[in-house]
Amino acid sequence: MRSVQFFDTTLRDGEQSPGVNLSAEQKVAIALQLEKLGIHVIEAGFAASSQGDLQAVKQVGEAVKEPIVVSLARAVEKDIEAAWEALKGAETPGLHIFLATSPIHREYKLNMTQDQVLERAEAAVRYAKKYFPHVEFSTEDGGRTEKDFLCRVAERVIDAGVDVLNIPDTVGFLSPQEYGDIFRYLKAHVRGIEKVKLSAHCHDDLGLATANTLAAIEAGVEQVEGTINGIGERAGNAALEEIAMALATRESHYQVGTGLHLKEIARTSRLVSKMTGMFVPGNKAVVGANAFAHESGIHQDGMLKNAATYEIMRPETVGQTDTRLVLGKHSGRHAFRDKLSSLGYSFNDQQINQLFVRFKEMTDRKKTIEDEDLVSLVEERIGETEEEVFTFEAIQLAYGNHSVPTASLRLYDNRNKRLLEEAACGSGSVDAIFKAVDRVTGEDWALTDYKIVSVTHGKDALGEVYVKLQDGDGRTVQGRGVSTDVLEASARAYVHAVNRLVSRRERNREATAGVPVGS
């Protein structure tokens, strides 16, 4: 199997993302992590751009041992000298010279003829080779350069002794087919092309950077360039983690090895995100928070039966924490039961069905369902030995600061199998609700305590209501209700307590009736 080497430019092209400015210490920290990932070439910066960057490139060059460390340089002697100043003490110094070759760049930016470009390119490589053992040359905007002229530039820098020839799609303009064709063309037409490594460098202006890089690999390049998390100028560069995982996941298709330590991908991504302040979108391939998260019931069911149904790679391969089955409005019973069992609860089918109805009601009102929400929901029913005499069905409230609060309530009477409806007014909404329950149940229960607690945070947090009720015989029970709405939670708590009182009272009566008189 042939291998492709990875050239990381997070510290140079990645740093060209607007708003990103890495200190020398940050560059060193990222470079050391890139070394752990197994990156072969690290572009540490552009030494001629400032004294600060020269120092940063120098520190990276001294810190890493294995990868080649390069600085970018224009095709001018003073840039090459600045790069040498930075890297002369490095273990493995390298230089990356670039010069634009496309008609638009030649005419408007450089104001150079084709011949001047050829001469400058050759002279720069010859000058660089006096200092650096490893020199790469990039034909900036090579993707929009006339193919024949590109071949002439290639021959001139090869003759000058360049080691790597990079053809960048600087403005992310080409299709994968077109980009691959450039390398096929160079291989077929450039004298001495076998002496150099060909390299691909893609930008993501049309969202094609990864696809184009893979097309270049299929066309035979031996080096690919990009950044971690795909950061970079404008829409960014090709994301190295995507290319690495495409090659690893589709190994039988590409037949290319990378030698990267894939388990370091997630850690590298987090470090780059933290140090650059560029957040990784949740849906970002490979490293996004949702890359291994499954929300919908049918997917979750498939995942529980066999992860390969919906995951083409495992999160642990890239050092991501485990697959997440996110419970939400699209989840089904399989994932719901699995989540409850991971929280330590086990229920029979009937209980799961009842809890699932409550769970779905919750998902209609709450965006994210946290573990605490589920625990709260489940514990509403847990340890429940009393029969559910009345099931809470619905509540409607009328409230205004100039009118009397009114509650209409619907309960289901499980013993007589019928719906019961009542309305009542109160001094406040909670009072109206409780009075409505009293009416439906036909008793006047004494409320001795009432408490509201918030289960989770945020505006859609679950409210938990606790009530204490006493019946005429002095029997006291506690009731608990949970909902995103505290008034509904109050109704549920009150009905819960009523159920307990009614069933306990009846159990007591039955027990007393069974005891012989005088005993």
Ligand X SMILES: CC(C)C(=O)C(=O)O
Ligand Y SMILES: CC(=O)SCCNC(=O)CCNC(=O)[C@H](O)C(C)(C)COP(=O)(O)OP(=O)(O)OC[C@H]1O[C@@H](n2cnc3c(N)ncnc32)[C@H](O)[C@@H]1OP(=O)(O)O
Annotated binding-site residues for Mn(2+) read 13, 201, 203, 237
In the set 40, 105, 201, 366, which binds ligand X (CB under 6 A)? 201
Closest distance between ligand X and the C-beta of residue 13, in Å? 5
Contact track, ligand Y, 57-96, x by CB under 6 A: -----------------xxx--------------------
Q: Which candidate, 174, 81, 96, places its Cα nearest to that of 139?
A: 96
Shortest CB 229 distance to ligand Y, Å = 18
Q: What is the DSSP letter of 40?
A: S
CB of 172 to ligand Y, least distance (A): 11
How many angstroms separate the most distant Cα atoms in the chain?
A: 121
Q: Which of 105, 111, 162 is nearest to 137 (CA)?
A: 162
Near ligand X by CB under 6 A, which window of 162-170, 271-279, 315-323, 424-432? 162-170
Cα–Cα distance, 160 to 196 (Å, whole number) = 11
Asked if 366 interacts with ligand X (CB under 6 A), we say no
Q: Three-state SS string across 52-104, please?
A: HHHHHHHHHHHHCCCCEEEEEEECCHHHHHHHHHHHCCCCCEEEEEEEECCHH
Instruction: For ligand Y, give the closer residue by CB, 121 or 362.
Output: 121
| Ranges within 90-109 binding ligand X (CB under 6 A) | 98
Chosen residue from 17, 26, 170, 499 binding ligand X by CB under 6 A: 170
Q: Residue 138 touches which of ligand Y, ligand X, none (CB < 5 to 8 A by kind)?
A: ligand X
Task: Quickly tell me which residue has 């795909």 as its tokens.
Answer: 230
Alpha helix stretches (DSSP H) within 405-459: 429-441
| Token pair belonging to 427 | 């001094």
Q: Which does 201 bind (CB under 5 to 8 A by kind): ligand X, ligand Y, none?
A: ligand X
Site string for ligand Y, 134-153 (x = CB under 6 A): ------x-------------
Amino acid present at 502 = V
Interaction of residue 110 with ligand Y, rule CB under 6 A = yes
Applying CB under 6 A, what is the total number of residues that bind ligand X?
A: 10
d(CA 390, CA 495): 7
46 binds ligand X (CB under 6 A): no
CA distance 266 to 431: 54
What residue 452 binds from ligand Y, ligand X, none (CB within 5 to 8 A, per partner kind)?
Answer: none
Residue 139, beta-bridge partner list: 99
- In this structure, the chain runs to a length of 519
| In the complex, least distance from residue 141 CB atom to ligand X, rounded to whole angstroms | 7
Provide the pairing of β-strand 41-45 with 134-140.
unpaired
CB 80 within 8 A of CB 74: no
User: DSSP E strands: which ranges in 266-402?
Assistant: 293-294, 324-325, 390-398
Q: Annotated binding site: which residue ranges? A: 13, 201, 203, 237
Among the listed residues 138, 269, 441, 483, the single contact to ligand X using CB under 6 A = 138
Identity of the residue, 168 or 297, whose beta carbon is nearer to ligand Y in the bound complex: 168
Return the residue of 17, 26, 49, 71 that touches ligand Y, per CB under 6 A: 49
DSSP 160-192: TT-SEEEEEETTS---HHHHHHHHHHHHHH-TT
Q: Does residue 20 bind ligand Y (CB under 6 A)? A: no
Rule CB under 6 A: choose which of 5, 7, 11, 13 binds ligand X.
Answer: 13
Q: What residues make contact with ligand X under the rule CB under 6 A? A: 13, 72, 98, 138, 140, 166, 168, 170, 201, 203
Q: What residues make contact with ligand Y under the rule CB under 6 A? A: 13, 16, 46, 48-49, 74-76, 98-99, 109-110, 140, 170, 233
